[in-house]
Amino acid sequence: MSRFLARRLLALVPVLVGVSIVVFLILHLVPGDPAEVIAGTGTTGEGIEAIRHQLGLDRPLAEQYFKWAGRLLRADLGRSLVTQQAVLPQLLYRFGNTLKLAVGGMAFALLVGGAWGIVAAVHRGSMWDHIFTVIALAGVSMPIFWLGLLLMLVFAVQLQLVPATGMGGPATFVLPVATLGLNATALVSRIARSSLLEVLQQPYVRTAWAKGLSQPRVLWRHMLSNAAIPIITVGALQFGYLLGGAVLTETVFVWPGLGRLLVDAIMQRDYPVVQGGILLVALTLIALNVATDLLYALVDPRIRYQ
Amino acid sequence: MAWAGGIVGLVIVVALLAPWLAPYSPIAQNLRDVAQPPSVRHPLGTDQLGRDLLSRVIYGARTSLVIGAAVLAIAFTVGTAIGFAAGWFGRWVDETLMRAVDVLMAFPEILLAIAVVAALGPGLANTMVAVGVSSTPRFARLARAVVLSLREETYVEAARAAGAGEWRLLRHHVLPNSVSVLLVQATLLVAIAIQAAAGLGFLGLGAQPPRAEWGVMLVDSRTYISTAPWLLTAPGLALMVTVMAFNFLGDGLQDVLAVRIS
């Protein structure tokens, strides 16, 4: 296992270098002179020169990258051009708010999508199965921000059950978490259904039925424990998609998360914040992928020797 | 699948005939008819600037399809070229290209699109580039997988034995046989592209006002959600139905063409 872990971590190095180059290039792909773009109109030549110097843009490209990457390794993401404050603490605070939404949404999707998939698989071919399939396909096509707006219209504006925007008490979590969760539910339910259907045909399930075990017992002891692995894996992979969806959800509900911070930073051309935010999400996903691989290897020893 | 194809066809026709179908200009403001609920004169109502919502939804189809087509052009050409090169030539070409693809796939697609917009600046043209770039890795992976399986086919071997050059093998044997797989993926890609571009528009990073774009229209609807809720129904519905039609069409094509994508 430790050899597998070492190999997996070693394979990570080029990806990490690549990701850092992509994030580094964000600032350098800015058309024209980045310093002038950041300064905006009405800044004098000296002001532009100062920004160029602060960002190190007056140095050769390779030198800039290595300096920047060196600071990254010391967890120094620089300072915001707008507030002049260190980027990392701000990012981590906002990322915490985003994670609350994402974890809540994931839990929602696994519970609701899982239950839904079980019902659809057990009653395969029934009217319910068909209705669920159509709803799930519609759900995949539904833009998450529109779903959020509709939920807001019904539950906050018309029924006035929960607040429409902002982050505060538990009630403020209901709509954003439901929005993110419902969006992911469609996919989770499809995977749950298909992996259960696969398990359903296994000989050990037939044996369990033949032994005269009750339906709940077969379902829980024999089927779900075997179908859970693909469901959880998809859940983990869905997490990245969920983080992407969080950007849009945060805009709908004015949630002080990382996504909202990123979009605001882009509007203000606050590149250190933009770069740091994008890097943070990418690193989270990479860590999650590695964790999923390790989990797989733990469960299935064959994977370790591939 | 027939109905999905029908809806896709309908959206294309609406987009092409927008100037003749739309009762008003999509950007003409009429400050005497501000935020009117649906009526005979304005079947879907008007927005906060008195613009006719039906006309804006119709022109929105045009914006979305143009984005879909542009993204497809970028992701299809670049992605297929990368995937074919990696799958066909193998070894270091494959290694280099696929490591680059891995790097891009470390970002969630919408985030990669946001990163590109962050560099190039907000706007419609940059949205197309951004979504195109973010969709390319997926296409490259698929094209590579297709080539890897086709490379082992006996007819390719036979053609090679008959003395066909690399270029000829690729053009006359690999490409024609991978069309069905790529076609399915292309249809699904249009759905993703339209949704992603609308998302960027909604964030304020995509198409800019006053252009009629469904995502941009939904931003406005949020501000007036309690006073003019009709603003959020039509653009959202148009967006969802269009995306769903492309998704179903892709699924249907996959079944019809019996495509198995590994």
pLDDT tens per residue across span A255-294? 999 988 999 998 888 888 999 999 998 898 888 888 877 7
* Alpha carbon distance, N-terminus to C-terminus of chain B: 23
Which chain B residues are within 8 Å of A32, Cβ to Cβ? none
Q: What is the least distance, in Å, from the CA of A109 to any CA of chain B? A: 19
Say if B15 falls within a structural domain: no
Backbone phi, psi, residue B236, to 5°: -65, -45
Say if B182 falls within a structural domain: yes
pLDDT confidence of residue A98? 92
Grade residue B78 by pLDDT with cuts at 50, 70 and 90: very high
Q: Return the closest-CA partner of residue A270 out of A104, A72, A30.
A: A30
Flag whether residue A29 sits within 8 Å of chain B, measured between CB atoms: yes
Section B71-93 average pLDDT: 90
pLDDT at B231 over 80: yes
Say if B11 falls within a structural domain: no
Q: Are A137 and A186 in contact (CB under 8 A)?
A: yes
* Calpha distance B3→B101 (Å, rounded): 36
* Calpha distance A72→A19 (Å, rounded): 12
Of the partner residues A30, A152, A286, the one whose CB lies closest to the CB of residue B225: A152
> Is the peptide bond preceding residue B210 cis, with omega within 30 degrees of 0?
yes
Say if B7 falls within a structural domain: no
CB contact (8 A) between residue A141 and residue B244: yes
Q: Are B8 and B249 in contact (CB under 8 A)?
A: yes
* Calpha distance A126→A130 (Å, rounded): 7
Low-confidence residues in chain A, pLDDT < 70? 32, 41-42, 225, 227-229, 231-232, 299-306
* Calpha distance A199→A255 (Å, rounded): 41
* Calpha distance B65→B19 (Å, rounded): 15
* Calpha distance B21→B55 (Å, rounded): 8
CB contact (8 A) between residue B236 and residue A15: no
Residue B72's domain comprises 44-256
Backbone phi, psi, residue B213, to 5°: -140, 135
* Calpha distance A177→A180 (Å, rounded): 5
Question: Using one digit for the tens of pLDDT, what is the confidence trace for B1-44?
Answer: 778 888 888 889 888 988 898 888 888 888 888 878 888 888 88
CB contact (8 A) between residue A141 and residue B191: yes
Flag whether residue B117 sits within 8 Å of chain A, measured between CB atoms: yes
Backbone phi, psi, residue A175, to 5°: -70, -50
SS3 for A86? strand
Of the partner residues A138, A143, A262, the one whose CB lies closest to the CB of residue B239: A143
* Calpha distance B221→B228 (Å, rounded): 8
Eight-state DSSP code of residue B36: P
Number of CB pairs, chain A paired with chain B, less than 8 A apart:
135
Its CATH class, for the domain covering A88-270, is: mainly alpha
SS3 for B80? helix
* Calpha distance B99→B106 (Å, rounded): 11
Say if B55 falls within a structural domain: yes
* Calpha distance B209→B70 (Å, rounded): 20
Which residue in chain A has the smallest CA separation from B123? A267
Q: Are A94 and A77 in contact (CB under 8 A)?
A: no
In what helix (H) or strand (E) does residue B43 lie, and over which residues does it extend?
Answer: none
Say if B127 falls within a structural domain: yes
Say if B31 falls within a structural domain: no
Of the partner residues B106, B203, B251, the one whose CB lies closest to the CB of residue A263: B203
B207: CATH: 1.10.3720.10
Say if B71 falls within a structural domain: yes
Q: Which ipTM score applies to this complex?
A: 0.87
How many other C-beta atoms lie within 10 A of the C-beta of residue B38?
15
Core vs surface per residue B227-258: b (16+ CB within 10 A) or e: ebbbbbbbbbebbbbbbbbbbbbbbbbbeeee
* Calpha distance B229→B232 (Å, rounded): 6
Count of domains for chain B: 1
Question: Using one digit for the tens of pLDDT, what is the confidence trace for A210-265?
Answer: 888 777 777 777 777 676 667 667 777 778 778 888 889 999 999 999 988 999 99
Which residue in chain A has the smallest CA separation from B200? A248
Which chain B residues are within 8 Å of A142, Cβ to Cβ? 240
